[in-house]
Structure 1
Amino acid sequence: MNMFHWRLMLITTLMWGVMPSAVATHKYPQADGFVLQRQQMVATIKDYKVAGINVNEQRILNAMANVPRHRFVPPHQRTKAYQDSPLSIGFGQTISQPYIVALMTQLADISFGMKVLEIGTGSGYQAAILFELTPNVYTMEIISPLANRSAKLFNQLALTKINHQHGNGYYGWPQNLQFDRILVTAAAAHIPVPLLKQLKPGGRMVIPIGPVWGNQELLLISKDELGNSSTRSILPVRFVPLTGTGN
């Protein structure tokens, strides 16, 4: 491809709001001693298959290989950071299993430029993964110490363009914005109506639904252009509960 065609392709992608799929939106210092562990984690995710589903979208695998997960776990957990398992982050909360993070992200089907809302910031890891795919990331955390911790980490990692708030995510983003995609990282007893209202026509929501100690299902909710919603059950899961009034 000559320089003229490359420039033409770049101008076209910028006009349509689409960037090349292999380009991450954030640069981390990779000389951190964990590059091999991240590569092994990604290989595990690629090989993992549950209910006939595997994660094979390269942009997501690139994001998982780029974001330093060890920075999002407590120091005493860092040797376990790249294991394919959830880890405690305190206050009764966890950072999700890497495969589940990748799967939920793939189900959301995020394109560059989309506006994405995450409910349950927790460690901040899922938000950082989302930020690899689109610069328009919004995230809410109800537990004040976790909200403060993730905000501090976003600053340390120069992720200051991630929009974050402390508050009850059941009711959605307080400014009543509309979102192309919504990911909920804690199990709700039912689908929160306020979140459905903030989901744009043509949008998708990925959310675990079910009781704390009972059977939970990961659901993919799709809204058509007329605003009608349909629900697809993906697989059984176990998440910490969505807390706060309304649930």
Structure 2
Amino acid sequence: MKNKHWEAIHEVYTKMEKLCGRSLYTPEDSLYAGSDDLQQGVEVPQADSHISGGTSDDIVKIRAELRTKLDFLRATLEEQYSERDTYLVLFPIVAQIDELIQTNFLRAMQTSWPLLQKELFQIDNAGEVFYEILDDILLKPQTPVFIYEVYYFCLRYGFRGRYESDPVKVIGYLKKLQARLQQEALPIPHAETEEMGRIRPFGSPYWNYLVTAGVLVVVYFLFLLLGTYM
């Protein structure tokens, strides 16, 4: 089922990468290198990903296509997740779409972008809310792993929000998410496995036969006693 959800997310990001004309994924080496350079006061050059030649009609078309894909993603998520968890998955993706369009597309055009976050969630500060939600779910171990994966995915694909000029903060969140995902992937502890192994023989056919034989012996002696007194 999770693969179906990732396929729907992949369609959204494929559309955005086509729009931006480049891969949005940030290699780990580049991410950490940029952090070190900023800490040392070195200016890090930004990739030129502006798109030229677009029109207002293009914006309307692009927005409609992305909205359709988001509606499909929401419907796919609602098949398995609660309304709250569906929101927690959908929100960071919508926040990233708005950020990417504004920082990559609109710089080359004199036009506006009606925020999807405003239409879908009635907010216009997703760059702040993204990290507020992330802080909250990192404190809640009952959060579905898929939600952690989506937030990690969005950060690796370039979302910055209020930390646009502070990659060190972004790396800190990535490390927290990595730790959470690694924790969720831990195998069953060895001691617990041994305990399960000790319990398992009680359900074996041999044990069942032994219990049945014991019951039959007891019943047999009861009949003998009854026959003696009668």
Normalising TM by the smaller chain, what interval?
A: under 0.3
TM-score normalised by L of structure 1: 0.23
User: Higher Cα Rg: structure 1 or 2?
Assistant: 2
Taking CA–CA contacts closer than 8 Å with sequence separation of 6 or more, which of the two structures ends up with the larger relative contact order? 2
Structure having the higher strand fraction is 1
